Amino acid sequence: MKRIICFILLCLCYIFVSSVEVNADVNEYELRLEYYHKYAALTGIDWYYIAAIDQYERNTKNYRHYCPKQNEIISICFDERLWSGINNPVYDDKNTDRINIFGGIGFDGDEDGYADRLNPDDRLYTMVKIITAYGITEDSIEQALLEYYRTEKGVQIIKQIALLFKHFNRIDLDKRVHPIPKGYNASVVNNYGDKRSFGGPRLHEGVDIFAPTGTPVVATAYGYVEVKGWNRLGGYRLGIRDIYNTYEFYAHLNSYAKGIEEGSIVRPGQVIGYVGSTGYGNEGTRGKFPPHLHFGLYKFDGKKEWSFDPYPYLKKWEKVRI
Ligand SMILES: [Zn+2]
């Protein structure tokens, strides 16, 4: 009897802790939205642009030495020298006059008298100052972003994230599903990094999911269709970018789902194409290998894009086939 009561108590504890965690997440998203709307109202920039910049910075902060690594409400972060001014003798200065004299970019957003590099308001205010340097039209924001980040790909990704936030009118777009829906046979082979020879020696940047021709393929995440079309190695393929700077690559498709074009916005579980055996030749080449979906994952870290192993994720998503 004691054991049963203990078990029930443990279960209740678990349920309580999980619900607290869920609430914490919800509150975090709400808090972020409040910040975005506040600075949108203040500057006239659409909220989803500010949200997309913050998301992009969150996605790349681990690759910048000056960014705190812990979870923060606002992840926009600045190099301390840029913030305070290159020749400012005070490290991580908060004094607005001195920052100004030394040509630093830090501003005091919450009007507490300090330009604090770690304060969410001061960060956001400084960022909106940077991106409104030329005005608040889409073109002028893009020009300012290019000048600040110095990466066309990065700016393109910020625009895509902004479109996703705008389209769904939400920022919690983290749902993931398996690329082959429930009820269809699919066998995932753990072959990331295997040697390949077609088109020259190379490593296999993805995993193969064997399934009969015509099996539907669904988007694994909320995303923006960045690439559609034929490629000698991949055949008919799709490249979809999610809000985490991750590029999901679907190759060897037999055909595309109706309405899927470059620039389309997709949701997890939406059919985007059908399994096939296209590739390894000129456009339309089929049957050089058994039908399968080649699924790859790539990450843009702010400077470069690299491939990583999708196998552990696919194993996890086995439980979320829809
Ligand atoms: Zn493959």
Work out the average pLDDT over 29-38. Answer: 97
Q: CA distances (Å), 251 to each of 89, 121, 175, 278, 291, in order?
A: 54, 43, 22, 8, 11
Separation of CA 295 and ligand 1 centre (Å) = 7
How far apart, in whole angstroms, are the C-alpha atoms of residue 30 and residue 172?
10
Number of domains in the chain: 2
Separation of CA 51 and ligand 1 centre (Å) = 35
Contacts of 73 by beta carbon, 8 Å cutoff, 6+ apart: 28, 31, 32, 35, 120
The CATH number linked to 312 is 2.70.70.10
Contact 29, 243 (CB under 8 A): no
Task: For residues 253 and 146, state if they share a domain.
Answer: no
Do you know the residue count of the chain? Answer: 322
Domain that residue 96 falls in: 20-168
How far apart, in whole angstroms, are the C-alpha atoms of residue 258 and residue 268?
16
The answer as to whether 202 is a domain residue is: yes
Separation of CA 214 and ligand 1 centre (Å) = 17
Contacts of 284 by beta carbon, 8 Å cutoff, 6+ apart: 230, 278
Contact 91, 84 (CB under 8 A): yes
The answer as to whether 175 is a domain residue is: no
Query: Which of 141, 168, 195 is the last residue in one of the domains?
Result: 168
Separation of CA 76 and ligand 1 centre (Å) = 36
How far apart, in whole angstroms, are the C-alpha atoms of residue 151 and residue 142?
11
The answer as to whether 234 is a domain residue is: yes
The answer as to whether 177 is a domain residue is: no
The answer as to whether 79 is a domain residue is: yes
The answer as to whether 160 is a domain residue is: yes
The answer as to whether 3 is a domain residue is: no
Separation of CA 204 and ligand 1 centre (Å) = 6
pTM of the model: 0.90
Separation of CA 259 and ligand 1 centre (Å) = 25
User: pLDDT value at position 55?
Assistant: 98
Task: For residues 158 and 242, state if they share a domain.
Answer: no
Tell me the per-residue pLDDT of 226-274, one tens digit each, with 9 for 90 and over: 999 999 999 999 999 999 999 999 999 999 999 999 999 999 999 999 9
> Which two three-digit tokens encode residue 161?
């994230």
Tell me the per-residue pLDDT of 45-102, one tens digit each, with 9 for 90 and over: 999 999 999 999 999 999 999 999 999 999 999 999 999 999 999 999 999 999 999 9
The answer as to whether 6 is a domain residue is: no
User: pLDDT value at position 197?
Assistant: 85
Task: For residues 30 and 116, state if they share a domain.
Answer: yes
